[in-house]
Structure 1
Amino acid sequence: MDIIPARPMLRADLRAQGVTGDEIDRARHAGRLTSVRPGAYLRSDDERLADPEARHALAARAAVRQHGAVDGAASHTSAAALHGLPLWRVPLVRSHLTRPGDSGGRRTTYLHLHRAELDADEIVLVDGVRVTSPARTVVDLARTLPFEQAVAIADAALHQKIVTTGELERAVARAGGARGLPAARRVVAFADGAADGPGESISRVRFARAGLPRPELQHVVLDAAGRFIAQVDFWWPGRAVVGEFDGKVKYERLLKPGQNASEVVYREKRREDAVRATGSPVIRWDWRDLDDFADVVTRLAALLTP
C-alpha cells in the first residue's frame, strides 16, 4: 500500500485513490495503518494517536464526514476536543454530532447523533470542520456532564478566551427548555477563567463542596518591599494561606530550553521557600490527591479556621 494517510481518511477515499480493501487490511495488520473510528484510518506513527483527546478530535473529524451530511456539526465532547478543551475523565468512545430536527437521534457503539436546531452563529469552522461554537459546546456539556467535568471545560474555555461569561449566559438563555438547563446555569455561574487547567478547576469544586472559603486565583505574592515573589494558584486572604496544585503539565510548561525537570523542581522549591518567608503557609497537592481530597481539606481547614 503506497498511500499511508497523514490525516484521517475514509475507506471510500482510499478506494477512490486506487487502494484495494485487501491493501487497507494488510496495512492495518502490519501496524502501518490505524483505525481512528470504523471506516476511517490514519498512519500509525502519528503522535496524536497517543493522546486520548487528540485521538477523539481525529475521530470527530471523520465522523462529521461520514454522518454529518451538510447540515450537521461535531458537538458535545467531540466539539470540545476540536476546540482544544480538556476532557478530564470524560468517556471518549463515541463521536458526537448534532443535526437539525427533533427526532431521529441515535446512539451506537461509536456514534451519538443528537437532534437539535443549530442557528448559523452556533456553528463555526475548525480546520474546515463544522463544529458547534465554543459557547454552545460548553452549555451542551454543562447540561449533560457531571458538574466537575463541566466546570473544567467551562473554566478552560474562559481561560483560553474563546468565549466570554456573557456569551455563556446567552447560550444558556437561548437553550429554552432543553433538558439539564439548571445544571448548566450552575456551571456557568461557578466558572472562572482564572483557573489554569483541569486540576485547578476540580480543586475549586472540591473546596466548595467541603465548605471551604472561596479562594482568589492566580494571586501575586509580594515581599515586604513590594517586590514580586510568585504568582500562586490559590490564595485565602483572610489567613494568607497559599494553595498550589502540582501537575506534571505545570512543570513541563515551566521548562526553559536546556533545562531538565530536576532544575525546575529546585527552582520551585526556592520559590516556595520565598513565599513561606513572607509568613504564608503553603499547602500542595497533585493529581493523586484529587482521588481522595479529604487530607487536603483537613490540612486547609486547620489553617483557615480562626
Structure 2
Amino acid sequence: MHQLNSSSDRPLTRIKLRPGVFLDEPPADPYALHLKRVEARLPHLRPGSYFARASAALIHGLPIFHADLDRVHVVHTGGGHGRITTSGHSFTTPLRDPSVVKVDDLPVTSLARTASDMMRRTLFGPALAIADAALRLGCDRAELLDEVRGGRGCRHATEAALRATPLSESAYESLVRGHILQSGIPMPLLQHEFVDAWGLLLGRTDFFWREFGLVGEFDGAIKYDELLRPGETVADVRRREYERQRRIEGQNVRFVRWTAEDVHTPGAILASLQPFIGDHRVDHGMCPEAHDLRRPRRRG
C-alpha cells in the first residue's frame, strides 16, 4: 500500500482505497479487495465508530448479497451526520446503539447485529442464508431475534431467524431451503447420513425426503471447489460425487440436483421436485412478508 501526493503518479494498475491511499496489484477477489479498503480506513476511524453492514459481514464471514463493496461501511455512535463518498458510506446509529466487538483488532458491530442489518435489507431467501451462517458461526438465536425485532424488514427477518439452522452448510443450500418454505414443499431432513447393512457410512446428503425416497443436492462449481482435496481436480471431485450417489441410490432412493441457475430462477426448485412429490404441499405458516419478492420498504 502506498500513500501518494498526486494521482498523476499512480500507474493504471493501482486501486484507490481511500483519498491518497492506493494499492499495488489489487486482488482479483472483490471480497479480499474490500478487506484491503477496510484496513486502509482503520487508522482514520474516529472513536465511537465501527465497521458495519457489508464491511462487518465480510469481517465476520457472513454471506454477501448485492452489497456495495466499493465503499467501506461505518456506523457512528456519537451523533453527527451520515455521509457517502466514493470510498465510504458512514451513517449514524439507527433506532438504538449497536452491540459491538473486536474481530482481529477491527472494531465491528457484533455478529448478531451485523446479521440483522443485512437480513433486514434483503429478501427472505438471502436473509435465511445469513441467519443460517450466523448460527453456524456461533451466534445465539435469542440474541439474533432480539436484534431483528422492530423497524425495517423486521417481519421477514424474524421469520428467517426463527427458521435458521446451523446444519445448512452453504448459502446456496439455505437459498434452496428458502424456496422449499415459500413453495409449501414438505420440509426434508438436512445432512442425513446413509449407512449400509453393516453400518458403514455411504454418504451424507443436503436434503432427504424420506416419505418420497428422494435426495436433493445443490450441485455447483462453488461446492466442487470446497470439496477439492490436495492434488485433486474438479473432475476428480465429480467422479467421487458420482460414486457416492451410486452408493446411496443403492438404498432405493432417487436424486435431484440443482445448479446456481435453478436457485436464482423463480419456480425452478418446485418444478424439479414436482415429478417426485406430486401435489403434496404443507402450510409452513410463513408471514406474508417472507413471500414478498420485493425488497423491504424503508421504515427506519
Q: Say whether 1:21 aligns with 2:21.
A: no
Cα distance in 2, alignment partners of residues 241 and 189 from structure 1 = 26
The number of residue pairs the alignment matches comes to 277
Q: How does 1:131-146 map to 2 (within 5 A)?
A: 131-146=108-123
- Partner residue in 2 for 1:167: 143
Q: How does 1:270-281 map to 2 (within 5 A)?
A: 270-281=243-254
Give unmatched runs, 5+ long, in structure 2.
281-300
Q: Is this contact kept in 2: 1:143–1:179, CA < 8 A?
A: yes
- 1:25 positional shift: 4.1
User: Which piece of structure 1 moves more, 81-90 or 125-134?
Assistant: 81-90
Q: Say whether 1:240 aligns with 2:210.
A: no
Q: Is this contact kept in 1: 2:65–2:126, CA < 8 A?
A: yes
Give unmatched runs, 5+ long, in structure 1.
15-19
Q: How does 1:1-306 map to 2 (within 5 A)?
A: 5=1, 14=3, 21-22=5-6, 25-26=8-9, 28-29=10-11, 31=13, 33-44=14-25, 46=26, 49-66=27-44, 68-101=45-78, 104-116=81-93, 117-118=96-97, 122-161=99-138, 163-172=139-148, 177-305=150-278
Cα distance in 2, alignment partners of residues 289 and 181 from structure 1 = 28
TM-score, normalised to structure 1, is 0.81
- 1:39 positional shift: 3.6
- 1:291 positional shift: 2.6
- 1:37 positional shift: 4.1
Q: Is this contact kept in 1: 2:180–2:269, CA < 8 A?
A: no
Cα distance in 1, alignment partners of residues 241 and 56 from structure 2 = 36
Query: Which letter does structure 2 place at the counterpart of 1:255?
Result: L
Q: Is this contact kept in 1: 2:176–2:269, CA < 8 A?
A: no
- 1:211 positional shift: 1.7
User: Residues 40 and 83 from structure 1, CA distance in 2 versus in 1: closer, same or farther, beyond 3 angstroms?
Assistant: farther
Cα distance in 1, alignment partners of residues 188 and 30 from structure 2 = 32
Superposed CA offset, 1:166-220 (max 9, x none):
22123335xxx44332233122112221111111111111112222112221111
Query: Which letter does structure 1 place at the counterpart of 2:141?
Result: T
- 1:242 positional shift: 0.4
Q: Is this contact kept in 2: 1:54–1:81, CA < 8 A?
A: no
TM-score, normalised to structure 2, is 0.83
Q: Is this contact kept in 2: 1:53–1:87, CA < 8 A?
A: no
Q: Is this contact kept in 1: 2:190–2:205, CA < 8 A?
A: yes
Q: Is this contact kept in 2: 1:64–1:97, CA < 8 A?
A: no
Superposed CA offset, 1:266-295 (max 9, x none):
111111111111111100111122232534
Runs of 4+ in 1 over 4 A off after TM superposition: none
User: Residues 285 and 159 from structure 1, CA distance in 2 versus in 1: closer, same or farther, beyond 3 angstroms?
Assistant: same
Cα distance in 2, alignment partners of residues 25 and 190 from structure 1 = 53
